[in-house]
């Protein structure tokens, strides 16, 4: 019974926690500039994420170690220094972008400049991190995040032709702006397959004390939750394609993105968009800050856990506090959150191979996953992702300059 409840909560929170600043930005831009044509990229990125999340949960469920902890133990600190530093830099920048996104959501509602909201938001994020256990953070934010289903409602109400949607799930070459198209395809992948999600998920699996017998819960949650979450991202793309595309509005700001809700939600449009954006970004900011604490504590061997009293895990608490402060300082300087998001998703792609390669080794090491090692299909997927990730890492910076 408890496993069923966990499963339902897991799937529901996966839906509510899926959409954040990266997925909204990239999907909205893709829809407004290329119609449904990049829907395949959202679907493919969702599939990649589901497989990686399932593996990180399986690793944590069997070995009782998070991804960062297992990599540290298997490969040693020297191997991990560079990927760790890269992941932390991306996490800090993404945290700044998420805080900026949440602050812009409040600006859409109040008209008061977004920088004014960064520090109050930072205080709220820190209070949540300091006072709440893992379950409350994960499920509370996930349930609130169900508001993002408004993107699906919007897309549904706008009535796209299902044949067109189905056709768009097969990759096709663009008719215009090929570099921009490629950049957005890579960015959608970077926005969806965020490295922090994998360690956050595996740390959560350890915190929630998932047993080997309950691995099926992990599998169903990973695939079903991600599938539904991907549908929300597709809702953003489809709404943007139907409303903004024909008007030739390219999304360069969240104010423009909010317009995609007007035909369906009328006078509630901006409020609904702002709340969806705000909760999505706030939830991701909390998770990112918490994950930074997880990663640093797991790598340096400090006591960690959102379910522990914070005073018994002082270094872990100090780690997420410092990371949060650095990110808030960057956000308050006034960088455009949307541009920062696009830079972050590019950087995510750059570091992806370094994070996926150790995964391939760990998921085949019986010391960690016992009899639950990867089969040929999953190994093939990881190997392919490492190769494709390396290729994307090579092209993403030129693409960002030429097509970003």
Provide CB contacts within 8 A for 89, sequence distance 6+.
347
In the complex, the smallest distance separating the C-beta of residue 240 from another protein, rounded to whole angstroms, is 13
Distance from C-alpha of 198 to C-alpha of 109, rounded to nearest angstrom: 33
158 binds another protein (CB under 8 A): no
Tell me whether residue 7 or residue 257 sits nearer to another protein (CB atom). Answer: 257
In the complex, the smallest distance separating the C-beta of residue 35 from another protein, rounded to whole angstroms, is 11
Q: Which of 111, 159, 309, 376 binds another protein (CB under 8 A)?
A: 111
* Residue ranges in 35-112 assigned as alpha helix (H): 39-63, 67-75, 77-110
Distance from C-alpha of 266 to C-alpha of 252, rounded to nearest angstrom: 22
186 binds another protein (CB under 8 A): no
161 binds another protein (CB under 8 A): no
343 binds another protein (CB under 8 A): no
340 binds another protein (CB under 8 A): no
Return the SS3 of 211: coil
Tell me whether residue 95 or residue 108 sits nearer to another protein (CB atom). Answer: 108
Give the x-and-dash track for 228-247 against another protein (CB under 8 A). Answer: -------------------x
In the complex, the smallest distance separating the C-beta of residue 271 from another protein, rounded to whole angstroms, is 9
In the complex, the smallest distance separating the C-beta of residue 255 from another protein, rounded to whole angstroms, is 4
9 binds another protein (CB under 8 A): no
Tell me whether residue 30 or residue 70 sits nearer to another protein (CB atom). Answer: 30
Tell me whether residue 32 or residue 192 sits nearer to another protein (CB atom). Answer: 32
Q: Which of residues 50-109 bind another protein (CB under 8 A)?
A: 107-109
In the complex, the smallest distance separating the C-beta of residue 173 from another protein, rounded to whole angstroms, is 18
In the complex, the smallest distance separating the C-beta of residue 107 from another protein, rounded to whole angstroms, is 6
In the complex, the smallest distance separating the C-beta of residue 253 from another protein, rounded to whole angstroms, is 5
CB 269 within 8 A of CB 244: no
Distance from C-alpha of 117 to C-alpha of 102, rounded to nearest angstrom: 9
- Count of residues of this chain found to bind another protein when the rule CB under 8 A is applied: 20
Tell me whether residue 267 or residue 311 sits nearer to another protein (CB atom). Answer: 267
In the complex, the smallest distance separating the C-beta of residue 251 from another protein, rounded to whole angstroms, is 9
SS3 string, 99-160, reads HHHHHHHHHHHHCCCCHHHHHHHHHHHHHHHHHCCHHHHHHHHHHHHHHHHHHHHHHHHHCC
* Token pair 């004014």 in the structure block, residue: 116
Tell me whether residue 301 or residue 398 sits nearer to another protein (CB atom). Answer: 398
> Looking at the chain, how many residues does it have?
404
Question: What are the CA-CA distances from residue 61 to residues 8, 79, 306, 370, 387 (Å)?
Answer: 18, 24, 17, 11, 27
Write b or e for each residue in 268-295: b if 16 or more Cβ atoms lie within 10 A of its Cβ, otherwise e. ebbebbbbbbbbbbbbbbbbbbbbbbbb
| CB hemisphere CA count around 404 (13 angstroms) | 22
342 binds another protein (CB under 8 A): no
CB 262 within 8 A of CB 109: no
What is the DSSP secondary structure assignment for residue 170, as one 8-state letter?
S
Number of Cβ atoms within 10 Å of the Cβ of 161: 9
Tell me whether residue 76 or residue 334 sits nearer to another protein (CB atom). Answer: 334
Give the x-and-dash track for 247-286 against another protein (CB under 8 A). Answer: xxxx-xx-xx-xx--x---xx-xx----------------
Tell me whether residue 111 or residue 375 sits nearer to another protein (CB atom). Answer: 111
CB 207 within 8 A of CB 61: no
Residues that bind another protein (CB under 8 A): 107-111, 247-250, 252-253, 255-256, 258-259, 262, 266-267, 269-270
């Amino acid at each position: 019974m408890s496993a069923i409840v966990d499963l339902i909560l897991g799937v529901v929170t996966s839906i509510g926690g899926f959409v954040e600043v990266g997925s909204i930005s990239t999907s909205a831009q893709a829809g407004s500039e290329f119609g449904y044509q990049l829907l395949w990229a959202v679907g493919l990125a969702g599939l990649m994420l589901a497989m990686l999340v399932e593996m990180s949960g399986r690793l944590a469920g069997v070995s009782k170690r998070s991804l960062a902890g297992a990599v540290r133990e298997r490969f040693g600190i020297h191997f991990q220094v560079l990927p760790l530093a890269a992941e932390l830099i991306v996490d800090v920048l993404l945290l700044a972008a998420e805080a900026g996104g949440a602050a812009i959501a409040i600006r859409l509602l109040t008209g008061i400049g977004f920088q004014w909201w960064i520090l109050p938001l930072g205080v709220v994020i820190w209070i949540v991190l300091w006072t709440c256990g893992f379950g409350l953070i994960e499920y509370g934010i996930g349930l609130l995040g169900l508001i993002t289903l408004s993107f699906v409602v919007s897309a549904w109400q706008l009535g796209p032709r299902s044949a067109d949607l189905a056709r768009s799930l097969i990759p096709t070459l663009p008719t215009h702006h090929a570099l921009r198209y490629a950049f957005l395809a890579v960015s959608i992948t970077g926005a969806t397959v965020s490295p922090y999600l994998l360690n956050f998920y595996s740390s959560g699996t350890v915190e929630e004390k998932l047993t080997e017998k309950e691995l099926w819960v992990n599998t169903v949650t990973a695939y079903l939750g991600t599938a539904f979450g991907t549908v929300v991202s597709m809702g953003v793309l489809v709404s943007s394609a139907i409303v903004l595309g024909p008007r030739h509005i390219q999304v360069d700001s969240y104010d423009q993105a909010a317009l995609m809700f007007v035909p369906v939600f009328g006078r509630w449009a901006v409020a609904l968009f702002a709340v969806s954006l705000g909760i999505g970004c706030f939830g991701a900011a909390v998770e990112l800050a918490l994950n930074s604490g997880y990663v640093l504590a797991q790598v340096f061997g400090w006591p960690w856990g959102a379910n522990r009293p914070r005073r018994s895990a002082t270094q872990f608490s100090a780690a997420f506090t410092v990371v949060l402060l650095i990110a808030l300082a960057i956000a308050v300087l006034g960088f455009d959150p949307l541009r920062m998001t696009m830079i972050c998703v590019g950087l995510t792609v750059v570091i992806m191979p370094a994070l996926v390669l150790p995964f391939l080794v760990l998921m085949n090491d019986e010391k960690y996953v016992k009899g639950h090692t990867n089969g040929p299909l999953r190994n093939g997927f990881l190997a392919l992702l490492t190769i494709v990730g390396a290729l994307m890492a090579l092209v993403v910076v030129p693409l960002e300059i030429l097509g970003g």
